[in-house]
Amino acid sequence: MRKFRGLLLAMLASATFGFIPLFSIPLLNRGIDLDSVCFYRFAFASFFMWLICKVKRVKLDYSWKELGAMAVLSIFYAATSFFLTASYKYISSGTATTIHFFYPVVVALAMMLFFREKVSVWKVIAIAAGVAGVFFLSGGVSGEKISLTGLILVLVTVITYPAYLVGVNRTPVVMRMDGMKQTLLVLGYSAVIFFINVMVKGAHFTPLTTGEHWIYALCLAIIPTLVSDFALIYAIQLAGSTITAILGCMEPLVAVICGVIFFGEAFTSNSLLGMILVFAAVFIIIIVCSREKRAEKS
């Protein structure tokens, strides 16, 4: 039951991450610059998480070790968001998404090499199906000439995101932390990092001046940030880094569906094939979890 809760939370985290374009693109189109969008996203999310902790009476008595460990992990998390977004300036978002989604392979290898986790044949098949699904969801073969700068930027995320996922799952001081306390720190640190990023650039925050601005910014902070990160942390604790990483394939699936419904993007044969492969990856993971549960009982 514990692992199945983790599986559901992993799918929730991944699916809600897919709503990022739905709320960020309208802000960008309405004149809010990217650095400001990133800061508002995490600043508002951390504020709401702090309110939840207060209502739930969660003791925010962090030790210096907890603060230090989460600071390092938050750098990896914020770096993933920054470098992936930066890569869009040089290569298409579809190509960047496809390359980025090789991170489950890195997570699986790290867990096998450094933590001796057994990765079954079916998990390898699920990873392959997920990567292939993301490839087709992102447009398949486009003939795009890939910029070296864009390639390097997105390849950084293939290292930083697995570092965050594995770190949350395997850092002793972090493993013992309450999920709410973890989520608050990740969101708070990320807000600080993007605030510093703007200050270092000598730039200014674009103000939210209309009701639309505020609605999109708050939705961005709550759905694909607060809910996603909260579910992600608990998913890693309950299901492990590898399964959580594989189920990340739900993110591009939801992003494509949002693009078709809300932005009038085309639904192609590549999209259909990608959806089938993603659902296959999810189905395989569910079967694997069922078998592992039965094996534990016997």
Q: What is the pLDDT of residues 183-219, one digit of tens each?
A: 999 999 999 999 999 999 888 899 999 999 999 999 9
| SS3 label, residue 41 | helix
Q: What is the pLDDT of residues 30-81, one digit of tens each?
A: 999 988 999 999 999 999 999 999 999 999 999 999 999 999 999 999 999 8
Torsion of CA 42, 46, 47, 50, to 10 degrees: 180
Q: How far is CA 175 from the centre of its chain?
A: 19
Q: How many helices (H) and strands (E) does the chain have?
A: 15, 0
**How many angstroms separate the first and last alpha carbons of the chain?**
15
In angstroms, rounded to a whole number, what is the distance separating the alpha carbons of residues 211 and 197? Answer: 26
Q: What is the pLDDT of residues 261-298, one digit of tens each?
A: 887 878 888 889 999 999 999 999 988 888 877 776 66
Helix axes 228-239, 2-17, angle to 10 degrees: 150
Which tokens is 50 given? 């702090």
Which tokens is 270 given? 């590549």
Cβ neighbourhood burial of 145 (10 Å; 0-12, 13-18, 19+): exposed
| Whether the predicted model's global pTM rises above the 0.85 cut | yes
Note down the domain range covering 58: 2-297
In angstroms, rounded to a whole number, what is the distance separating the alpha carbons of residues 63 and 59? Answer: 12
> Is the CB of residue 282 less than 8 Å from the CB of residue 249?
yes
In angstroms, rounded to a whole number, what is the distance separating the alpha carbons of residues 183 and 162? Answer: 17
Count structural domains, the chain.
1
